[in-house]
Chains A and B, each alone.
Chain A
Amino acid sequence: GESVGLHLPTLSVQEGDNSIINCAYSNSASDYFIWYKQESGKGPQFIIDIRSNMDKRQGQRVTVLLNKTVKHLSLQIAATQPGDSAVYFCVSNFGNEKLTFGTGTRLTIIP
């Protein structure tokens, strides 16, 4: 079946360091990927997205890399801050309008 999965359930990073969160997906039909951030007690918050015709996209302090050959994508957060502590979800639409969420990586920023 269709799935997205994150490699690590938890990740701890020193404040100011860069963090990388990895994700693998199973379906080559995926044409759109989104990274969401979810803080405790809140809804998912859009961070950055990328379409399958791209292999890299940059935002403010965040970069998403897409490797379609190995069906892998990553989210890089530069100079992490305490406010980056949250659960991060790798999400795909698998070619249709409903989103499939992975299991999430809980990122903890160590002061």
Chain B
Amino acid sequence: NAGVMQNPRHLVRRRGQEARLRCSPMKGHSHVYWYRQLPEEGLKFMVYLQKENIIDESGMPKERFSAEFPKEGPSILRIQQVVRGDSAAYFCASSPMDPSSYGYTFGSGTRLTVV
């Protein structure tokens, strides 16, 4: 049973390009969460999605960032027109359908570097 799979592990983008980060939740998990981690800091919540629905995007920057979790395929975090300040590690977590179980499992993250 594979864990939460994120790809790519490392991503380098020039300023102004687009970054697309992918997350495949654990088998049987239908809730996906995206977090961002700056160096020497804790993880900060960005967005919570269920299949085809954004449940809570209170941590997402208003511009350039978007997330989706389609009926088929992985969840995608998209950052348009990247800037140096977007450089960070982006982690995805998933949990089972029953939210009261709180069985969060994190992936290994995507390290985005904007040059």
| A interface, CB within 8 angstroms of B | 32, 34, 36, 42-46, 49, 89, 93, 96-104
B43 sits at the interface (CB 8 A): yes
Closest 3 CB pairs of A and B: A101-B42, A43-B106, A98-B45
Which of B41, B56, B105 is the one whose CB lies under 8 Å from A98? Answer: B56
Q: Decide: A98 near B91, CB < 8 A? Known: A43-B107, A44-B106, A45-B106.
A: no
B70 sits at the interface (CB 8 A): no
Residues in B with CB closer than 8 Å to A104 are 41-42
- Interface of A, helix, strand, loop or mixed by DSSP: loop
Q: Contact at A99–B109, with CB atoms within 8 Å?
A: no
Q: Please measure, in the bound complex, the distance between the C-alpha atom of A49 and the C-alpha atom of B48, giving whole angstroms.
A: 21
Given contacts A43-B108, A98-B33, 20 further A-B contacts (CB under 8 A): A42-B108, A43-B91, A43-B109, A44-B43, A44-B91, A44-B106, A45-B106, A46-B104, A46-B105, A89-B42, A96-B56, A97-B48, A97-B99, A97-B102, A98-B58, A98-B59, A99-B45, A99-B93, A99-B104, A101-B42
